[in-house]
């Protein structure tokens, strides 16, 4: 597997400074969450660092990559092309020797997905709570992230879904499926309500 240092060097070349700092921030937060939730620290740091590696690829090039590599994309990703970087990044991360588990964490980091495992949850939350992010609910979500990762994910999905409703853009069903799954688990375990 590629080293953190080598991936950092490559990301520095391919990403804007802002996105690079977001990537390093996600790596740091992934490390904290990995230790909290007993996930391999190095794996989480690598996946966190690389999660947005495809984010700044121009659309035309992104569509070409999808075609060349026969990546399946759905109607919503076709419409909301900002989502594409997750699947492209997951595929590209193979060149670093990332495992399928790490690829899936990258694949699911934007919409969320009911198939997410602990690593994927950590990358999802780290991406939305890292040190350079700033939005109204972030402190509450950072706190939740250290208490119950599922509750943090629900709070992030609520925020994202609300944002998408306000912007009148499509809502990816995978995020809704994830929210329902986690919410149902919390209700059944009497953690909330
Ligand atoms: Fe992303
Ligand atoms: Fe990100």
Position 23 confidence tier, pLDDT thresholds 50, 70, 90: very high
4-136: CATH superfamily: Hypothetical protein af1432 (1.10.3210.10)
Q: Check if the beta carbon of residue 21 is closer than 8 Å to that of residue 132.
A: yes
Q: Which of 18-22, 42-46, 96-100, 167-171 has the lowest mean pLDDT?
A: 167-171
Q: What is the average per-residue pLDDT within 138-148?
A: 97
Position 161 confidence tier, pLDDT thresholds 50, 70, 90: very high
- Which pLDDT score, from 0 to 100, does residue 8 have? 98
Position 190 confidence tier, pLDDT thresholds 50, 70, 90: confident
Instruction: Compute, in angstroms, the gap from residue 14 CA to the centroid of ligand 2.
Output: 14
Angle at 127 between CA 125 and CA 131, to 5 degrees: 105
Instruction: Compute, in angstroms, the gap from residue 193 CA to the centroid of ligand 1.
Output: 32
- Tell me what percent of the residues of the chain surpass a pLDDT of 90: 96
Instruction: Compute, in angstroms, the gap from residue 52 CA to the centroid of ligand 2.
Output: 5
Distance CA 14, CA 18 (A): 12
Q: What is the average per-residue pLDDT within 30-45?
A: 98
Q: What is the average per-residue pLDDT within 164-180?
A: 96
Instruction: Compute, in angstroms, the gap from residue 19 CA to the centroid of ligand 2.
Output: 8
Instruction: Compute, in angstroms, the gap from residue 189 CA to the centroid of ligand 2.
Output: 31
pLDDT, tens digit, 9 for 90 and up, residues 54-76: 999 999 999 999 999 999 999 99
State both tokens at 128. Answer: 């939305």
Instruction: Compute, in angstroms, the gap from residue 50 CA to the centroid of ligand 1.
Output: 10
Is the pLDDT at 7 greater than 90, yes or no? yes
Instruction: Compute, in angstroms, the gap from residue 192 CA to the centroid of ligand 1.
Output: 29
Strand, helix or coil at 184?
helix
pLDDT, tens digit, 9 for 90 and up, residues 95-140: 999 999 999 999 999 999 999 999 999 999 999 999 999 998 999 9
Is the pLDDT at 85 greater than 80, yes or no? yes
- Which pLDDT score, from 0 to 100, does residue 173 have? 97
- Which pLDDT score, from 0 to 100, does residue 43 have? 98
Q: Report yes or no on whether pTM surpasses 0.85.
A: yes
Report domain extents, the chain: 4-136
Q: Check if the beta carbon of residue 116 is closer than 8 Å to that of residue 178.
A: yes
**What is the average pLDDT score of the chain?**
96
SS3 sequence of 14-63: HCCHHHHHHHHHHHHHHHHHHHHCCCCHHHHHHHHHHCCCCCCCCHHHHH
Is the pLDDT at 11 greater than 70, yes or no? yes
- Which pLDDT score, from 0 to 100, does residue 191 have? 74
- Which pLDDT score, from 0 to 100, does residue 193 have? 58
Instruction: Compute, in angstroms, the gap from residue 128 CA to the centroid of ligand 1.
Output: 9
CA atoms within 13 A on the CB side of 80: 12
Instruction: Compute, in angstroms, the gap from residue 193 CA to the centroid of ligand 2.
Output: 31
Q: For the chain, where are the alpha helices, taking DSSP H only?
A: 4-14, 17-36, 41-50, 59-68, 75-79, 84-92, 100-107, 118-129, 138-147, 149-166, 173-188
């Amino acid at each position: 597997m590629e080293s953190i240092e080598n991936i950092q060097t490559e990301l520095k070349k391919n990403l804007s400074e802002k996105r690079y700092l977001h990537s390093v921030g996600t790596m740091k937060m992934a490390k904290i969450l990995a230790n909290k939730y007993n996930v391999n620290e190095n794996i989480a740091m690598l996946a966190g660092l690389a999660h947005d590696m495809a984010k700044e690829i121009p659309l035309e090039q992104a569509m070409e990559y999808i075609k060349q590599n026969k990546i399946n994309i759905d109607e919503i990703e076709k419409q909301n092309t900002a989502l594409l970087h997750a699947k492209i990044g997951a595929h590209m991360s193979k060149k670093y020797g990332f495992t399928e588990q790490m690829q899936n964490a990258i694949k699911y980091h934007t919409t969320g997905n009911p198939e997410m495992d602990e690593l994927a949850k950590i990358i999802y939350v780290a991406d939305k709570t890292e040190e350079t992010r700033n939005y109204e609910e972030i402190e509450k979500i950072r706190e939740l992230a250290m208490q119950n990762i599922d509750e943090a994910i629900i709070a992030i999905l609520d925020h994202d879904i609300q944002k998408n409703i306000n912007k009148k853009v499509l809502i990816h069903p995978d995020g809704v499926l994830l929210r329902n799954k986690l919410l149902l688990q919390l209700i059944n375990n009497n953690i909330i309500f």
